[in-house]
Structure 1
Amino acid sequence: MAFLVSGTLRVAAQIADAQDSLGRKGKYSVQGPRVALNLSSPEVSASTVAILESVFQTLGFESCQRREASVQDFLEELAGFREQLDAHGVPMGCVLVALVAPSGQLRQPQKLVRELSGCEALRGCPKVFLLLSSAPGAAPKPGTFLTGLSELCGRCPHWSLLQLLTEVFCRTAGESSGATYCPVLQSSLRGALCLGDVDPWGPEAFREELAQFQARLDTRRSPVSCALVALMAHGGPQGQLLGADGKEVRPEALVQELSHCRALRGCPKIFLLQACRGGHRDAGMGPTALPWFWRWLRAPPATPSHADVLRIYADAQGNSSGGFTPGSCDQADILMVYAAAEGCVAYRDEKGSDFIQTLVEVLRATPEGDLLELLTEVNRQVCELDVLGPDCNERRKACLEIRSSLRLRLCLQA
């Protein structure tokens, strides 16, 4: 009987997971059909409608419907659209609805949004609404918002939709004339929504993101004093970062991506890496038998076996090494902080990363301190923790690894 109940629960869980487009990874699965609707009033220009359809196609929406109606009939049109989706018979992957009308006419958009919220075919699926106002009269050229959205959708397919919109908002606010204008979004999404064909956490996305970051820095008019990059991913046995697609990239290659940045020449570049560097789970060095007895005696906790080591790579004659030092970058002014020692597991739980949380606490307590000294304090606190991995019932130890080629003291706050 217990076997039957267990099997039934397991099957039910699998069915529930299949029906839940969010899954367990904090990211929407949009493998089902993607349907878009362009609902516009007769006053909207043809150029605006055309660029919207181009955006739909770039985002991978196979079915793009176009309907023209007065604003008063928008609710009725959405009701018909909902019935069509429910009659389709299969769960949708995502729906995108563009509602375009002259300025001031979309007075109660929440009623239009609620019309699709009750759609059975869209239960648990992301529903995206573009509420666009358009100037009546002559057909104007599409503004910064639409042109920027169209360009970014094609150039950055691995970005999440929230990333895309944030960048578009920045451009729109920067190019608006007169009073500052910026679009607004309201979100109740429960996970990341990426509509492109590239996984937002793949190695290619890491490299592309850093290339985009470098390009933005090089085009800045004001000088840059410091750059900080946090890389969080699964890690391979040789220290490589693993994307969600299983492909690999060396963190040193990502560091080199920024070494060519003109704006960062001579400036400190900080990299925080939260990723496993192997599968070893360090039990530490110290009392392990009868742990309750040692705690009663207030014995010092076990020490990570990789702790208390300082290694310095240098040429005795002060010459250039003429190449890469194994495991490091032949580049000055770089600070890399690994959440785990070489070959070891990097731990995190439902609350997040012990490394990142401890770093935040230390920086808040002493924001004006020397960063290398603060990171040493972070490592001390991390080394004192007893961690418990998801597939290990015994307490384990963690230890940071700090690699620095900084040429000056670095204080993030004066």
Structure 2
Amino acid sequence: MAFLVAGTLQAAAQAADARDSLGRKGKYNMQGLRVALTLGSPEVPAATVAALEGVFQALGFESWERREALAQDFLRELALFRKQLDALRSPVRCALVALVAPRGQLGQPRQLVQELSCCEALQGCPKVILLLSSGAGAALEPGAFLAGLRELCGCRPHWSLLQLLTELFCRVAEESAGDIRCPVFQSSLRGALCLASEEPWRPEAFWEELAQFQEQLDTYRGSVSCALVALMAHGGPQGQLLGADGKEVQPEALVQDLSRCGALRGCPKVFLLQACRGGNRDAGRGPKALPWYRRWLWAPQPALPSHVDVLQVHADTQGGSCSGPAPGSSGQADVLTVYAAAEGCVAYRDEMGSDFIQTLVDVLRADPGRDLLELLTEVNRRVCELDVLGPDCDEPRKACLEIRSSLRRRLRLRV
């Protein structure tokens, strides 16, 4: 009986896991079977089919098949594919279906999309549909489009699929001669879809993304008035950002690197850091006990974080214990860094997100024309008043921002 109950519970857990592949971190769980299907008309060139298989492989699909049919029979073939998936015993994490037919024969693909969405094995899982036109009159040659996608998958393995498509669309539009031809995607995804096996936030990815961002700024023909960079990751005991591979990078090194950007010389550079800076879980400090005859006059005051209400002014040295630009250098000026936690403390977040980021968004929306330092001070006030519960403790904990600024002028994000 115990074995039967355990088996039933395990089967129920697997079914629930398959139906809800979206994790709490806002990213689809890709640890499982991925299936792909090429559904093409007889006129589709063999080179296009080979290019599709290359994309499937680059995106990490272990299983794919090809079916040939007339465009008017695509719905019937897709229904057979759906039944095939429903008959599988193992959960399916993602399905990618490529529909290739001469231009004008696909028409409205709503029925095809609905047929795939009815698949029980894919309920709660991402379903990707590529609609490609082949032959004379096609606005975009499928082979070139697929080759560009495969190339991006190789050089940007940590990007989500939406990021890859956006970059691909940009390249297609830039390479179009005469009238700009740009693909379009429609998305109802509920989270990030990262198909590569590589984790998206390795330290190398931080450097790579920042280098690409700096390159775009340096080649930008117009003037840049401000740069804002948000870094969100796990943090180590010394404040370093941690990657899934265990490698580390100091956020101050990233700040220093971007400060060398020529396009940002003399411009404000704002960094938002949502990451732990140590393992201390601040229980806060309560107010001083009042005599009994005064307690009824004042309402009880909440506890405050241990690091609150402090202003440090470093007149001749870089603030903080981490290395940074030399004092007095141009790289030290005009930098505003906001940490989600005090030095040595945990930065809390839950399945709804970060209290720091959410509060910042609320405050900015309410008064976007106000001085940014004043807005951040208001954000800190609200964060300090919150009681947070960490995943490893049932007792309320406190959080406090740390704001470092070498701005030389007042900064308003909206005039």
Q: TM-score, normalised by structure 2?
A: 0.83
Tell me the distance in 2 between the aligned counterparts of 1:363 and 1:137: 49
Tell me the distance in 1 between the aligned counterparts of 2:65 and 2:341: 51
Q: Counterparts of 1:179-194 in structure 2 under 5 Å?
A: 181-194=181-194
- Tell me the C-alpha RMSD between the 2 structures: 3.5
Aligned length: 405
SS state at 1:387 partner: coil
Contact 1:27–1:193 (Cα < 8 Å) also in 2: yes
Tell me the distance in 2 between the aligned counterparts of 1:280 and 1:89: 45
Mean CA deviation greater in 218-227 or 86-95: 86-95
Tell me the distance in 2 between the aligned counterparts of 1:139 and 1:226: 38
Alignment partner, residue 360 of structure 1: 361
Contact 1:203–1:249 (Cα < 8 Å) also in 2: yes
Contact 1:43–1:137 (Cα < 8 Å) also in 2: no
Matched, 1:19 2:31: no
Q: Which amino acid aligns with 1:65?
A: E
Q: Which amino acid aligns with 1:380?
A: R
Do the aligned partners of residues 285 and 90 (structure 1) sit closer, same or farther apart at CA in structure 2, a change above 3 Å counting?
closer
Matched, 1:230 2:230: yes
Q: Deviations over 1:110-137 (max 9, x none)?
A: 2222333343443443221101223427
Tell me the distance in 2 between the aligned counterparts of 1:335 and 1:161: 32
Alignment partner, residue 165 of structure 1: 165
Q: CA deviation at 1:360?
A: 2.3
Tell me the distance in 1 between the aligned counterparts of 2:139 and 2:356: 55
Q: Deviations over 1:190-242 (max 9, x none)?
A: 33211112112333333332222223223322222211111222222221223
Equivalent position to 1:329, from 292, 314, 324: 324
Tell me the distance in 2 between the aligned counterparts of 1:86 and 1:384: 50
Matched, 1:404 2:405: yes
Q: CA deviation at 1:17?
A: 5.2
Contact 2:51–2:143 (Cα < 8 Å) also in 1: no
Tell me the distance in 2 between the aligned counterparts of 1:349 and 1:18: 20
Do the aligned partners of residues 350 and 77 (structure 1) sit closer, same or farther apart at CA in structure 2, a change above 3 Å counting?
closer
Q: CA deviation at 1:155?
A: 1.2
Q: CA deviation at 1:400?
A: 0.9
Q: Deviations over 1:246-302 (max 9, x none)?
A: 543321233234234332233221111112222222233332779x99697225443
Q: Deviations over 1:311-345 (max 9, x none)?
A: 23343xxxxx7x99732521322211001101112
Do the aligned partners of residues 288 and 351 (structure 1) sit closer, same or farther apart at CA in structure 2, a change above 3 Å counting?
farther
Tell me the distance in 2 between the aligned counterparts of 1:310 and 1:349: 29
Alignment partner, residue 318 of structure 1: none
SS state at 2:368 partner: coil
Mean CA deviation greater in 142-151 or 246-255: 142-151
Q: CA deviation at 1:83?
A: 4.3
Tell me the distance in 1 between the aligned counterparts of 2:8 and 2:343: 41
Contact 2:270–2:335 (Cα < 8 Å) also in 1: yes
Q: TM-score, normalised by structure 1?
A: 0.84
Mean CA deviation greater in 196-205 or 99-108: 196-205
Tell me the distance in 2 between the aligned counterparts of 1:375 and 1:47: 56
Tell me the distance in 2 between the aligned counterparts of 1:163 and 1:208: 15
Contact 2:349–2:355 (Cα < 8 Å) also in 1: yes
Tell me the distance in 2 between the aligned counterparts of 1:274 and 1:165: 27
Q: Which amino acid aligns with 1:117?
A: S
Alignment partner, residue 130 of structure 2: 130
SS state at 1:93 partner: strand
Q: Counterparts of 1:25-40 in structure 2 under 5 Å?
A: 25-40=25-40
Tell me the distance in 2 between the aligned counterparts of 1:128 and 1:295: 63
Alignment partner, residue 394 of structure 1: 395
Tell me the distance in 2 between the aligned counterparts of 1:139 and 1:387: 54
Q: Which structure 1 segments of 5+ residues have no match? A: 316-320
Do the aligned partners of residues 209 and 85 (structure 1) sit closer, same or farther apart at CA in structure 2, a change above 3 Å counting?
same
Q: Which structure 2 segments of 5+ residues have no match? A: 326-330
Tell me the distance in 1 between the aligned counterparts of 2:57 and 2:7: 41
Q: CA deviation at 1:374?
A: 2.4
Q: CA deviation at 1:23?
A: 4.2
Do the aligned partners of residues 79 and 251 (structure 1) sit closer, same or farther apart at CA in structure 2, a change above 3 Å counting?
same
Do the aligned partners of residues 356 and 57 (structure 1) sit closer, same or farther apart at CA in structure 2, a change above 3 Å counting?
same
Tell me the distance in 2 between the aligned counterparts of 1:139 and 1:162: 21
Q: CA deviation at 1:41?
A: 2.1
Alignment partner, residue 41 of structure 2: 41
Q: CA deviation at 1:186?
A: 2.5
Alignment partner, residue 328 of structure 2: none
Contact 1:44–1:139 (Cα < 8 Å) also in 2: no
Tell me the distance in 1 between the aligned counterparts of 2:80 and 2:185: 26
Give the fraction of aligned pairs with identical amino acids, expressed as a percent.
71
